[in-house]
Amino acid sequence: MSTRRHFLQKASLTTLALSLPFSDSIAKALGQQEPKVLRVALMGLGSYASRVAEAMKDCSRAKLVGVISGTPSKIEQWKQKHGLSAQNCYSYENVDQIKSNKDIDAVYVITPNGLHKEHTLTLAKAGKHVICEKPMATTAQEGQEMIAACKAAGVQLLIGYRMHFEANTLDIVKKQRAGEFGKTLFFQGLSGFVIGNPSQWRLNKLLSGGGAMMDIGIYSINGARYLLGEEPIWVTAQETKTDPVKFGEGIDETITFQMGFPSGATASCLSTYSLNYLDKFFLSGTKGFAEMQPSTGYGPIKAWTHVGPLQHSHVTHQTTQMDKMAALILDGKLPLIPVDGEEGLKDMRIVDAIYQAVKTGEKVII
């Protein structure tokens, strides 16, 4: 009788599981609670926000529920396209009212760099977790203020480092940490493209905080840090400007920069708005090497080592990023490579040092 009863119970659970959606069938059949979903609003509805929104359609732990924009027509378009509730849509003028909205857990700030601090402070005061696109600010001082504000408000501050969750990147980081390349001694990072519209915000000092370094160059800074597994102790840098009209005062066109690390390792990097086909990382050690090209584009990333090519399948970066960040905020699950405000601040201190080195022509100690 007990055997028969056990069989019937097992059969009932199987039938129930098959009748439910795949994503939650097993959990519900076993009486387990479904994982919480992070409810996200996007702030700033430019092209990258559209990319994030599309990627989030495939997320299992994060859901787009609202938007914040300074353009009423964009808000209406997004409401219609993504089925958003009017009560979850805000302008920059009334965004402080988000404090009373219990349907939004976090806001992804995808506005121009020069607005990151202001928007982060507003959202922290409203009690919302903040995901801020990189670079986190225009200076390290601003980054410190953002971290302090979020800490005081008891909310998380994460930076949009999508590459910290990319499979090829993580594989190489793990190999480096395991010593498969021996002692890593050199990193090369090439980051650049030919920028178009001269009137865009990226070429406006007040909105961007700088030029190519604040946009694409930060990838090489960050990549050197996580692939070498160290923090630089000095930088040197040189700037080249061929078009002072398009790239005005405070907007760098091309910067080559070097970094030195405690182990004796060095990094040689290029950041530019005037050359295409530059998206490459190279790591060299005493026992082997790793190379990635493209290394930070939207994918698929191509990577190989002295042993051979890596074979990881491509998953949309922003889908993985948002699911992993949801797990971090909701479950406290920490990633292999940090994505918190302190991680962003480390990059900003290096950016500050690079600009100082360009200005003075001297080695800057960090």
Are 292 and 280 in contact, with CB atoms under 8 Å apart?
Answer: yes
Q: How far apart are CA 366 and CA 364, in angstroms?
A: 6
Q: Of the listed 117, 128, 134, 280, which one is catalytic? A: 134
Catalytic residue among 161, 219, 273, 355: 219
Which residue in this structure is represented by tokens 């982060």?
Answer: 120
| Best CA proximity match to 43, nearest among 159, 133, 121 | 133
Distance in angstroms (rounded) separating the CA atoms of residues 366 and 354: 10
48 as an active site residue: the answer is no
Do 169 and 310 form a contact (C-beta atoms < 8 A)? no
Q: Identify the helix (H) or strand (E) that includes residue 330.
A: helix 317-331
Please enumerate, as own/partner, the contacts of 150-155 that have beta carbons within 8 Å and a separation of 24 or more: 150/120, 150/124, 150/341, 152/124, 153/124, 153/125, 153/127, 154/127, 155/123, 155/124, 155/127, 155/128, 155/129, 155/130
Report helix angle 22-29 to 2-19, nearest 10: 150
Closest alpha carbon to 55 in 258, 324, 262, 345: 324
Return the amino acid letter for 257.
F
Any catalytic annotation for residue 134?
yes
Q: Cβ neighbours of residue 74 under 8 Å, at least 6 residues apart?
A: 45, 67
Q: Which of 347, 351, 216, 194 is nearest to 271 (CA)?
A: 216
**345 φ/ψ angles, rounded to the nearest 5 degrees:** -65, -35
The whole-angstrom separation of Cα 110 and Cα 43 is 6
341-360 and 140-153 helices cross at what angle (nearest 10)?
Answer: 160
Active site residues: 134, 219
